[in-house]
C-alpha cells in the first residue's frame, strides 16, 4: 500500500525521475523521513511495550501508551500518511497527494468503525481514559505522560 500503489500512480501519470532538487523536494524528503521514523518507532513500541506487533495475527497484548502513543492514538497511520505526503511533495505529484489523502480518510474510517470499538471492548476503562487524554490525530498540550492507563494499538 505504501510502495506499490504510489509507484503505480506515479508511472500511470508519466512521472519518472523527480524534478531538479529544490526546497519543495527537501521538504518532501524531510516529511518522508519523519513519517518513516514515526511509523517504525510505532512498530518497535508495539513489540517492546505491547508485547505484540501491528499484524492482526499478533496484536499487542497490552495497551500501548508510551513513545509516540503518548502524543497520538494513531501515530502509525500519521507516519505513513506523512511519508506518502512527503513523496507527493518530492515528486510534485497531485495524484500521489490525493492517494495520501485517501489513505488518511480510509485510516480514519477504519479507526472509528473498527479499531476503536475493538480496543474499547478489549481494554475497557483503561482505553476510555486514554481516549480522554490523548487525541486521535493531532497532538495537543495535554498529551499523556505514558504512566497509568494504556494506549491505542
Write the pLDDT tens digit of every residue in 94-139. Answer: 888 999 999 999 999 999 999 999 999 999 999 999 999 999 999 8
Q: Kindly report the pTM of this predicted structure.
A: 0.79
> How many domains in the chain?
1
Q: Which three cell numbers stand for residue 67?
A: 513513545
**Do the domain assignments include residue 88?**
yes
Q: Which three cell numbers stand for residue 36?
A: 518513516
**Do the domain assignments include residue 73?**
yes
**Do the domain assignments include residue 24?**
yes
**Do the domain assignments include residue 108?**
yes
**Do the domain assignments include residue 2?**
no
Q: Looking at residue 5, what is its pLDDT?
A: 64
Q: Which three cell numbers stand for residue 81?
A: 500518511
**Do the domain assignments include residue 145?**
no
Q: What is the distance between the alpha carbons of residues 44 and 60, in angstroms, rounded to a whole number?
A: 11
Confidence grade of residue 15 (pLDDT, cut at 50, 70, 90): low
Domain, as residue range, for 126: 20-133
**Do the domain assignments include residue 31?**
yes
**Do the domain assignments include residue 153?**
no
Amino acid at each position: 500500500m505504501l510502495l506499490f500503489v504510489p509507484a503505480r500512480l506515479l508511472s500511470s501519470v508519466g512521472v519518472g525521475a523527480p524534478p531538479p532538487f529544490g526546497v519543495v523536494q527537501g521538504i518532501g524528503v524531510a516529511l518522508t523521513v519523519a513519517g518513516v521514523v514515526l511509523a517504525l518507532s510505532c512498530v518497535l513500541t508495539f513489540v517492546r511495550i505491547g508485547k505484540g506487533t501491528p499484524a492482526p495475527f499478533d496484536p499487542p497484548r497490552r495497551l500501548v501508551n508510551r513513545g509516540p502513543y503518548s502524543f497520538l492514538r494513531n501515530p502509525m497511520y500519521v507516519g505513513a500518511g506523512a511519508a506518502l505526503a512527503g513523496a507527493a511533495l518530492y515528486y510534485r505529484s497531485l495524484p500521489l497527494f490525493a492517494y495520501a489523502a485517501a489513505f488518511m480518510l480510509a485510516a480514519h474510517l477504519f479507526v472509528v468503525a473498527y479499531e476503536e470499538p475493538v480496543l474499547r471492548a478489549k481494554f475497557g476503562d483503561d482505553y476510555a481514559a486514554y481516549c480522554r487524554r490523548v487525541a486521535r490525530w493531532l497532538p495537543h498540550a495535554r498529551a499523556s505522560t505514558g504512566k497509568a492507563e494504556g494506549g491505542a494499538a
